[in-house]
Amino acid sequence: MKKRVEMTVKSVSEIALDTFEMTLENAYTATMAIPGQFLHLLVGDHTLRRPISIADIDYDQDTVTILFKQIGDGTRQLASLEVGMNVNAIGPAGNGFTYDQSMNSALLVGGGIGIPPLYCLGKQLRENGIEVKSVLGFQTDQHIFYEEKFQELGETYVVTDDGSYGYRGFVTDVLDQAGYFDHYFSCGPIPMLQAVTNKLGKISGSISLEERLGCGVGACFACVIPAGTEGFYRKICSDGPVFAAEEVIL
C-alpha cells in the first residue's frame, strides 16, 4: 500500500545560497526509501504538494534527509519549519535508482538541485564496493553544497557557470577527464541531461527527471515524457523519476 505519513523535523539549515538541508524522521519512510525516490510534501494550505528528492537515508536513525532550493512560497514555508514540527508526506514516492552490483565503476553527473539524489546513490554504490567519480555543476561558488561529502565517495570535479569555483562552464566540459566507468547516473535540468546523454552516447546510463507534478502518484497524467516514436509516454512521478537514458526522449 502507498502511505501518507507525518514526518518530524530533526534538523534544518541553509547549507548554500537559498539551499536548505532538512532531516525528517519517520520509521516507515526511512525503512522503505531507496536513492532516487522522492517525498511528496504538503506545505501550508497549498493545493499541490512539493516533490523533493531524497538526499540521504539513515536506516539506523529512521531519518531521511532532503535538500531543496527556496524558490517560491511553498519552499519558503518548508524552510521555515522548526525542529520538532511535523510535515505531511506521501512517500517514499516514485521509482529510484537500480544498478548492477557486479559493476566496477560509476560516474555521477549532477546539476544544481539535481545533485542531492546522486549523493544518496553514491553512498550505496561505495558500500557495495563500486568505485564512484562525480561531476557536479553549480551556478556560482555560493551555490555549492556537499562537495566534501562527494570527495569522500571518490574523485569529484566541480564546475560553475561563471567560473567562480572549480572549472568554468558546464558539466559536459569535464566529462572527458573522468576516464573510464561502467555506467553513469545523471540528474539535473533537462537541457543538462540532453547534453550529458548526447556526449556520453551509447554508454549505459540512468537519468532522473524533474517535471511539475499534479497528483504525484500517476493518476493525473500531468508529468509525462515521450518514450518512443509511436507517441508512447512514461509518467515521471510513478514510472520514474529514474529512467534508463535510452528509455525516454528528452
Binding residues for another protein, rule: CB under 8 A, are: 1-4, 42, 45-49, 74, 90, 211-225, 231, 233, 238
Return binding residues for FAD.
50-53, 74-75
The least distance separating another protein from the CB of residue 232, rounded to whole angstroms, comes to: 9
Contact 41, 78 (CB under 8 A): yes
- CA angle, residues 102, 182, 197, in degrees to nearest 5: 135
Nearest to another protein of 32, 224 (CB atom): 224
The least distance separating another protein from the CB of residue 80, rounded to whole angstroms, comes to: 18
Nearest to another protein of 5, 159 (CB atom): 5
Return binding residues.
50-53, 74-75, 215, 220, 223, 237
Contact 187, 173 (CB under 8 A): no
Contacts of 176 (CB under 8 A, 6+ apart): none
Rounded Cα–Cα distance for residues 25 and 11 (Å): 10
Return binding residues for [2Fe-2S] cluster.
215, 220, 223, 237
Nearest to another protein of 96, 154 (CB atom): 96
Nearest to another protein of 225, 242 (CB atom): 225
Rounded Cα–Cα distance for residues 171 and 182 (Å): 18
The least distance separating another protein from the CB of residue 6, rounded to whole angstroms, comes to: 13
Rounded Cα–Cα distance for residues 156 and 8 (Å): 33
The least distance separating another protein from the CB of residue 147, rounded to whole angstroms, comes to: 27
Nearest to another protein of 28, 180 (CB atom): 28
Which grid coordinates are listed for 65? 534527509
Contact 121, 33 (CB under 8 A): no
Q: What is the largest CA-CA distance in the chain?
A: 50
The least distance separating another protein from the CB of residue 125, rounded to whole angstroms, comes to: 29
